[in-house]
Amino acid sequence: MFLESGLLNINKPKGITSFAVVHRVKKVIGVKKVGHCGTLDPMAQGVLLVVFGKATKLQDKLMRREKTYLAKILFGTTTDTDDITGTIIEQKSFEPFSISEVNMALSAFVGEISQIPPMFSAIKMQGKKLYQLARAGISVERKERLVTVNSIEIIECDGKSVLCAIKCSSGTYVRSIARDLGQKLGCGATLEFLRRESSGVFNYADSIDMQEINKNNIENLMQKAISIETLMSLTNA
């Protein structure tokens, strides 16, 4: 069975770009039109929805669905990328925070909030992506954007870092939440770990590992693909 159009729920590993995943799928299944439904940074892992064929027309609808993340935020360190892969700008010593202090600070980021996107992001300004300007040593003023964070739940907190589950709208930068939380606590913070747990109805538990995306596994891969008919019923629901 070979689907000409559909969706693959892929577990993007850390260390590669979302574009690299799309390129791999395109090469393996041999379909001209392939795209993803929401970028994951190279340091992030988890659910990356890849659509192909006529299903690429549903990209925007699928992209707008709620996302959930598992995020670890490290206190006391500020980086230029707002995550652990960046260059350290500042490190501060601080007394470890209590769970109630962290929870109180996090509560300010629940609801409809304004965010300034990270300088290292794929948003376009002056005809170039922000990360291209950042790599050239150019910093530009970014406009605040409204996003919705439905909930933030603390999973673990040792006073020096916090692991939390975040449910949010499309377009939310978890790196910005980490950065802004650090500012609120007065010690700086950066994102140490990020995994997308779900995108809409598609979950991490059901995602396909990258090693499964190869030409020798094409039949099994297509059996795991979601048909365009199913996708249309989901997006019209």
CA Rg value for the chain:
19
- Residues with catalytic annotation? 41
| Separation between Cα atoms, residue 171 and residue 174, nearest integer Å | 9
- Kindly state the DSSP code that residue 214 receives in the 8-state scheme: S
| Separation between Cα atoms, residue 34 and residue 20, nearest integer Å | 12
| Separation between Cα atoms, residue 20 and residue 218, nearest integer Å | 18
Compute, in degrees rounded to 10, the torsion defined by CA atoms 11, 15, 16, 21: -10
Contact between 10 and 50 (Cβ < 8 Å)? yes
The helix (H) or strand (E) run that includes residue 184 is helix 174-185
| Contacts (Cβ under 8 Å, ≥6 apart) of 210 | 10, 11, 12, 13, 21, 24
Nearest to 231 by CA among 60, 24, 68, 27: 60
